[in-house]
Amino acid sequence: MSIPDHIRALEKLAQIDSELKELQDQLAQERSTLDGLTSGIRKLDERLTIDRASMGVMEKARGELLLDVRNMSQQLDHSRDKLSRARTEREANAAQRELEELRKLVRDREDEIGKLTRDADAARQQIEGTEADHRKLADELGAREGDISSKLGEAESKARVKRAERDAAVKALPPPLYRRYEMIRSKRGNAIAQTNDGTCRACNMALPPQLFHRLRREPTLEQCPSCNRLIYFSSPQAVDASAAPERS
């Protein structure tokens, strides 16, 4: 193959790589959207599991405290009865102390019940808010999943076709030239550039005059001293007729 043939093959390969990148970016974006929704739902599921478990612990503790209060209320009745039946000052004082201790215990338990009730109400409101967020995300996922899956399938199908085209384009290049192209592409994104006025159209840096004259004099492939892309001369008419490789 001649140098012009190599240049045309590189242009075709660069165009295919640009289209493949667009498809890969589209795939990444659609997958990111789908992953974001499913991840959000999963996190809400985990939060609901934790909050419901915490709610269960609070309700259990509250139930145990209410049982304690009921038992203590019975003990209070018994202590009042003892106080009313006391025959001596000593018996009355003992019954009074027992009554006061029980009243204090009941107040403490009631304070704990009040705190647990407030905490449980706050937890219940949080769970309700999380459930609302969960429903909203689930509805969004249900509405968009089919469309996203369709776009993913379409983009993957196009990407398979482009990869087949790329394989065919690679075969048209000498292996050493292709290796150079891939090495530059891995660092620069696009590996080829044009010049028609002594400036690299990829990095916008001026070429050494001797290099530009050599490119202009005969079909040849060189490397831009500034960005290291493979560079070739293209007449102004050709540049106007087709878009130059993407700059970066």
Residue type, 34: L
Is pLDDT above 50 for 246? no
% of residues, the chain, pLDDT over 70: 95
Query: Which secondary-structure segment (H or E) carries 17?
Result: helix 3-84
pTM score: 0.64
From the number of C-beta atoms within 10 Å of its C-beta (0-12, 13-18, 19+), residue 18 rates as: middle
* Tokens encoding 223: 């490397």
Which CATH code is given to the segment(s) 13-171? 1.10.287.1490
- Nearest Cα to Cα of residue 15 among 242, 248, 228: 242
The domain ranges of the chain are 13-171, 175-241
Query: What is the signed CA dihedral for 181, 184, 207, 231, rounded to 10 degrees?
Result: 20
Q: Please state, in angstroms and rounded to a whole number, the distance separating the CA atoms of residues 223 and 215.
A: 10
Q: Please state, in angstroms and rounded to a whole number, the distance separating the CA atoms of residues 38 and 199.
A: 49
C-alpha distances (whole Å) from 215 to each of 1, 194, 200, 209, 218 are: 18, 10, 12, 10, 6
Q: What is the per-residue pLDDT across 138-180, written as a single tens digit (0 to 9) for each? A: 999 998 888 888 988 999 999 999 999 999 999 989 999 999 9
